[in-house]
């Protein structure tokens, strides 16, 4: 799936069936279903990509302290661009992966 196909899927009622849980979480987040995305992040705490997702979600929530904790757990620097840029960077990374 390409990033353009993934973005187009945001208009559908459900996330694509063939995407990873990480991409499903981004899909839910983009569709204003933060809690569902957060549940996916929490389901696999301790895995770097899920911790990275967790960081993004708490940053979006406006909880910078909690976001910082999850960035540290993911062993990645705090993202300094916009939330839209961070969402796009994660989607591109996880579509490759």
**pLDDT per residue as tens digits for the range 18-31:** 999 999 999 999 99
Q: Contact at 8 Å (CB) between 74 and 48?
A: yes
Q: List, for residues 42-56, the tens digit of each pLDDT value.
A: 999 999 999 999 999
- What average pLDDT does this structure show over 5-29? 96
CA gap 52, 73 in Å, rounded: 8
- Tell me what the pLDDT averaged over the chain comes to: 97
Instruction: Look at the pTM and tell me if it is higher than 0.75.
Output: yes
CA gap 71, 60 in Å, rounded: 13
CA gap 72, 76 in Å, rounded: 6
Would you state the pLDDT for residue 34?
97
Q: Given a cut of 90, is residue 90 above it in pLDDT? A: yes
């Amino acid at each position: 799936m390409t990033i353009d196909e993934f973005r187009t899927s945001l208009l559908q009622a459900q996330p694509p069936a063939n995407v990873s849980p990480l991409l499903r979480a981004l899909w839910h987040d983009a569709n204003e279903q933060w809690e569902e995305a957060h549940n996916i992040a929490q389901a696999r705490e301790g895995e770097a990509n899920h911790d990275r997702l967790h960081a993004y979600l708490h940053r979006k929530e406006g909880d910078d302290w909690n976001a910082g904790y999850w960035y540290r757990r993911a062993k990645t620097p705090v993202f300094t661009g916009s939330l839209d840029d961070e969402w796009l960077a994660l989607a591109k990374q996880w579509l490759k992966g």
